[in-house]
Amino acid sequence: MNRTLLILAAAAAAAAVACGDARTAVQSGAAASAGFDPAAWRAPTESEIPNDSMGASIRRGLAIFLHSPDSLPAYASGRITCANCHLNSGQAVDAAPLTGSYARYPQYMTRTGAVVGLADRVNYCITRSLAGTRLPTDSREMQDILTFLAWLSRGVPHGMGTTLPGATGIPRIEKATHVDTAAGAAVYVAKCQSCHGADGEGNASISPAIPALWGPKSFSIGASMARPGKAADFIWHNMPWGLGRTLTQQEAHDVAAYMTSRPRPDSPGKERDWPFGGAPADAPYATAGRDAHQPPPLLRRANPGGALVPPPASVRRPTR
Report the amino acid identity of residue 301. R
CA nearest neighbour of 109 among 89, 128, 95, 136: 128
Looking at the predicted structure, is the pLDDT value of residue 222 above 50?
yes
Looking at the predicted structure, is the pLDDT value of residue 28 above 60?
no
Looking at the predicted structure, is the pLDDT value of residue 24 above 50?
no
CB atoms within 10 A of CB 13: 10
What mean pLDDT, rounded, does the chain reach?
90
Looking at the predicted structure, is the pLDDT value of residue 31 above 60?
no
Residues across the chain: 320
Give residue 319's pLDDT: 56
Residues 295, 284: contact at Cβ < 8 Å? yes
211 confidence band (pLDDT: 50, 70, 90) = very high
Give residue 312's pLDDT: 86
Looking at the predicted structure, is the pLDDT value of residue 11 above 80?
no
Average pLDDT over residues 218-237: 98
Looking at the predicted structure, is the pLDDT value of residue 23 above 70?
no
Looking at the predicted structure, is the pLDDT value of residue 237 above 50?
yes
Looking at the predicted structure, is the pLDDT value of residue 43 above 50?
yes
- Rg for the chain, CA atoms, rounded: 22
Return the minimum-mean-pLDDT range out of 180-184, 206-210, 306-310. Answer: 206-210
19 confidence band (pLDDT: 50, 70, 90) = very low
Return the minimum-mean-pLDDT range out of 28-42, 255-269, 282-296, 298-312. Answer: 28-42
Distance CA 217, CA 129 (A): 11
Average pLDDT over residues 255-265: 98
Residues 159, 103: contact at Cβ < 8 Å? yes
Looking at the predicted structure, is the pLDDT value of residue 148 above 70?
yes
Looking at the predicted structure, is the pLDDT value of residue 2 above 60?
no
Give residue 20's pLDDT: 37
Give residue 22's pLDDT: 32
Q: What are the φ and ψ backbone dihedral angles of 268, each rounded to 5 degrees?
A: -55, 140
Distance CA 72, CA 64 (A): 7
